[in-house]
Amino acid sequence: MANCTKAEREQIAKFNNFYQLSTHDVLRRIEKYTCGCCYGGNSWTTEKQAILMGQKLGLSPRSSLIDIGAGAGWPGLYLSSISGCSLTLVDLPETGLKLAANRSIQDKISERVTTIIADAAELPFEDQSFDALSHSDLLCCLFSKEKVLIECRRIIREQGKMVFSVIYITPGLDKIDYERAVLNSPNFIQTDGEYETMLRECGWHIDDQIDLSKEYQETCRLQIEADDLHQQELIKLLGEKQALDRMSNWKSKLEVIKEGLVKRDLFVCSPNTL
Ligand SMILES: C[S@@+](CC[C@H](N)C(=O)[O-])C[C@H]1O[C@@H](n2cnc3c(N)ncnc32)[C@H](O)[C@@H]1O
């Protein structure tokens, strides 16, 4: 946290509030409708995509997985439940990790789950500590993307894999479209260059890159539908202004996705020899 900018710290506080609220029944029903899961998820990762992530990582009971920017444990806990792998969850807000630890007890997997409060840009692990590494829409939620990718590279074993989703601005937009994309996206969506270049420069080989933009659009559409269905309960929980702002934000977001101004990809990467 010490190296986070003021804007990043403000965002972490918002995530903390989100996780505090996330156990409310109405939010869990909306999450189930939208992403097919029920963990207090805060990325756009659906259950189908989580399964794909697990397959790409080749998880088994012998694997050690680290999920960075783990929130309340989605999708890390789910991946550990279906594969039997050991799991380390890392994030900055304590609330999400506490929920994740409780959920691991409830799911009877707590003996193989560890939660750690740490900055993704300064991971408190030895070199080559993990077989598998995941993050879901983390890089568009922080400033120092290269630092995080270098830390990920340091802690992955030689035969390990990293799988992650990220939302980014479609290259080549004019100024007006670029600004609309920024306005309707995660706070730190802007990058100095493309992820392909960044990954190579940080010691990663891209094994596969899957365009999830159509699914992102569909998930966003379902989010709007779910919020509409539960509008009265949302107003009761969040207050009228916050609930209506939330719904209007989803609609603006859907517009820029539909127009192709933002994209969401899944990257599957192996460490390059340094
Ligand atoms: C889009 S959310 C995803 C949360 C969860 N994995 C999910 O899919 O629901 C991104 C997460 O990254 C975390 N995060 C942001 N900056 C971070 C940093 N510097 N170090 C560790 N986690 C960070 C946030 O707190 C947030 O929980």
Q: How far is the CA of 12 from the centre of ligand 1 (A)?
A: 8
CA distance 138 to 26: 25
Q: What does the pLDDT average to over 222-235?
A: 98
Check whether 3 has a pLDDT greater than 90.
no
Is residue 191 included in any domain, yes or no? no
Average pLDDT score over the chain = 96
Dump pLDDT digits (tens) for 7-61.
Answer: 889 999 999 999 999 999 999 999 999 999 999 999 999 999 999 999 999 999 9
Identify whether 175 is part of a domain: yes
Is the shortest distance between the CB of 219 and ligand 1 below 6 Å? no
Q: How far apart are alpha carbons 196 and 185 in whole angstroms?
A: 20
Residue 45 within any structural domain of the chain: yes
Q: Which domain holds residue 236?
A: 6-185+196-271
Please give the Cα distance from 8 to 4 (Å, whole number).
6
- What is the model's pLDDT at position 64? 98
* Atom number, ligand 1, closest to the C-alpha of residue 15: 25
pLDDT per residue as tens digits for the range 92-115: 999 999 999 999 999 999 999 999
In a domain, 1, yes or no: no
CATH number of the domain encompassing residue 34: 3.40.50.150
Do residues 107 and 113 touch, judged by C-beta distance below 8 A? Answer: no
User: Considering the domain boundaries, does residue 34 fall inside one?
Assistant: yes
pLDDT tens-digit readout, 124-182: 999 999 999 999 999 999 999 999 999 999 999 999 999 999 999 999 999 999 999 99
Is position 245 within any domain?
yes
What band does 274 get if pLDDT is binned at 50, 70 and 90? low
Give me the pLDDT at residue 105, please: 98
Ligand 1 pocket test: pick from 1, 4, 15, 19 the residue with the most ligand atoms within 8 Å of its Cβ: 15
Distance (angstroms) between ligand 1 centre and the Cα of 147 equals: 15
The number of domains in the chain is 1
Q: Which atom of ligand 1 is nearest to the CA of 8?
A: 16
Q: What are phi and psi of 112, to 5 degrees?
A: -115, 15
- Contacts of 67 by beta carbon, 8 Å cutoff, 6+ apart: 73, 75, 76, 79, 87, 88, 89, 90, 133, 134, 135, 136
Provide the whole-model pTM.
Answer: 0.96
Q: Would 21 be classed as within a structural domain?
A: yes
Structure tokens at 260: 């192709």
Among protein residues, the one with the nearest Cα to ligand 1's atom 8 is 43
Within a domain: 258: yes
